[in-house]
Structures are given as C-alpha cells and as structure tokens.
C-alpha cells in the first residue's frame, strides 16, 4: 500500500466532516440559530455541534455570527410590516428607535406638593388629583386655624 493510498481514507473523512459542518451551519442559519432543530435537520448530534464549537475556531466564528443574522432577519420582517402599514409594528419601532423624538413608553412627571411626592408612572391620574385636593384642603384648614387663632387673641 502506497503512502497516497493510506492518505485517501483520511482525506475522505475530512471531506465528509467538512460537508457535515457545512450542512449543520446551513441548517443553523435556516433555523435562526436554534441548535436542536438544526442538528436534527442536518443529522448531527448536539454533542458534536458543541465539540466543534470547542475545537474548530472557524466553525465557532461562524456560529457566533448567527445572532447578527437573526437580528437582521427580525429587523427585515419588522420593516416589511411597517411598510405594510401595521400599526403595532410602527408603534414598536417608534418606541424603540425614536425615543429622542418623544416616542417613549412612559413619561416621568413628578408632582411635589404638601405631603405628597410621587412619580406619575407609579400612580394613576386620579390618585394625583386626590393628593392635590388633599393638599389644598390641608392648606385651607391651616389658613382657617391661623385666622381663628389671630381672632381669639
């Protein structure tokens, strides 16, 4: 048996391995990085996938780029919905990407008066109105008591 005859089976195994890795990488891409589903589709065990992550830097680099592909996929789907006029998609986009223009999920407005200090996010408008009314009543009572004291002197 010649030296090239001995190398042939090893080279064949390498090609097969490269083919399996490529197949799994394509499956991972198609499954948006969901390992279990991609492994089943490619006929590769999860254990093998994780072994390749530990031992093959090129494989690892490609797999680590998958979240970017997934984000791009989601962003493209969102932009398509926005283009179709989907109100929920438009609102979501504006609340997350246009905050500097005032599209925010919450507004923080503080009321500080009398005995009450709180943030509008934590309280309802009715509770704030009640607190203001309570403060006004306290001021009026204090004025009445002060004027009553001055009359009795």
Q: What is the pLDDT of residue 64?
A: 93
Helices (H), 43-107: 46-55, 57-64, 66-83, 87-97
Q: What is the pLDDT of residue 75?
A: 94
pLDDT of residue 105 exceeding 70, the answer is no
What's the chain's Rg over C-alpha atoms? 33
What is the 8-class DSSP label of residue 131? H
| Residues ≥6 apart with Cβ < 8 Å to 67 | 33
The CA-atom distances, in angstroms, between 14 and each of 9, 52, 54 are 9, 13, 18
CA distance 50 to 47: 5
What is the 8-class DSSP label of residue 56? -
**Overall average pLDDT of the 111-135 stretch:** 64
Q: Which two tokens stand for residue 140?
A: 């009026």
CA distance 58 to 109: 52
Q: Identify whether the C-beta of residue 24 lies closer than 8 Å to the C-beta of residue 14.
A: no
Mind listing the pLDDT tens digit for each residue in 43-70?
Answer: 999 999 999 999 999 999 999 999 998 9
């Amino acid at each position: 048996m010649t030296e090239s005859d001995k190398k042939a089976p090893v080279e064949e195994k390498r090609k097969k391995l490269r083919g399996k890795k490529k197949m799994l990488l394509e499956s991972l891409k198609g499954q948006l990085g969901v390992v279990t589903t991609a492994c089943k589709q490619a006929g590769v065990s999860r254990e093998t996938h994780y072994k390749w992550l530990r031992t093959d830097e090129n494989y690892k680099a490609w797999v680590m780029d998958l979240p970017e592909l997934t984000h791009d996929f989601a962003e493209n789907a969102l932009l398509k919905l926005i283009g179709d006029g989907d109100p929920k998609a438009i609102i979501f986009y504006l609340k997350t990407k246009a905050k500097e223009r005032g599209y925010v999920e919450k507004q923080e407005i503080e009321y500080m008066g009398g005995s009450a200090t709180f943030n509008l996010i934590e309280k309802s408008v009715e509770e704030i109105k009640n607190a203001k009314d309570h403060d006004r009543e306290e001021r009026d009572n204090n004025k009445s008591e002060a004027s009553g004291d001055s009359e009795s002197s």
